Amino acid sequence: MADTQKSIFITGAASGLGREVARYFANVGWFVGLADLNQSGLEETAKLLPPGMYSIHKLDVTDRAQWKTAVSEFAKHTGGRMTVLFNNAGIGSGGPIQDMTDEEIDRMIAVNLTGVISGTRACFELLKDTADSCVLYTSSAAGIYGSAGLSVYSATKFAVRGLAEAHDIEWRDLGIKSRSLMPGFIDTNIIAGVVDPGSNMTGKERLQSAGLEVSPVSVIGPAAWEAIHGNKVHTTVNKTAKQLAFAARWFPERLRRNMVGLVKGMQP
């Protein structure tokens, strides 16, 4: 890796948003660290990237020892630098909180919040030693307003939003930027694989039938680039997220009524 080449370490790189950001940044000349539990998915992502522009790291974000190993291996490729940590890995499941199992709740918090914190801590020294570095967190439109039927997921994304805001202040004198992406519904395997009980509709089709936008995954690369290079702490991605952020700020009671209606309309 050249001394002037920029680098990005991506968790959740085996699919979805992580894969697309990896493709986008590698194609503009960045060295990309691909990290995920899914080895075959990592290899599929790697096939989309130019030769010599990536490293592969099998990583369970809930395991702090694995974080330490992955970051150390990445540093060998980059000369001890990390321009961006894309702290992206996350899982999501829905349903009323009383219907979720303890294991589902614990796992979601471990991956979506504790794993994110562990990643930031593991990468901190590399970021501090790299000029104009940035942590980019994946929050969600569910981190703008509490999402019924996704309450635990929504709570973790509110927490990630809080990390981005706090670290933007904490690290200002260190030269590390802190940013978050807040996407609405993006056409990834998570949405495509959720089938509506009692019908043949996928989750994507169900959302679209309710009048909600499902954006192509290609929107996330430019959004990540904008977030890293811009001055806003939070970058909303797609029309739905932008509208939600606007309504949450200026018309919270109207938004609440609309959300109640949406939940009723989504019920079988």
Q: Does residue 32 sit in helix, strand or coil?
A: strand
Cα gap 89→185, rounded to integer Å: 16
pLDDT of residue 100: 93
Residues of the chain with confidence (pLDDT) below 50: 193-195, 205, 208, 260-268
pLDDT of residue 252: 67
Cα gap 90→85, rounded to integer Å: 15
Per-residue pLDDT tens digits for 63-84: 999 999 999 999 999 999 999 9
pLDDT of residue 264: 37
Per-residue pLDDT tens digits for 120-136: 999 999 999 999 999 99
Please, what is the end-to-end C-alpha distance for the chain in angstroms? 54
Which tokens hold the place of 135? 């942590």
Known catalytic residues? 153
Beta bridge partners of 202: 195
pTM: 0.88
CB atoms within 10 A of CB 27: 14
SS3 content of the chain, % helix, strand, coil (to 5): 55, 15, 30
pLDDT of residue 93: 76
Distances 149 to 99, 244, 259 between C-alpha atoms, Å: 10, 17, 11
Asked if residue 240 lies in contact with residue 184, where contact means CB atoms within 8 angstroms, the answer is yes
Chosen CATH of 7-266 out of 3.30.460.20, 3.40.50.200, 1.10.3720.10, 3.40.50.720: 3.40.50.720
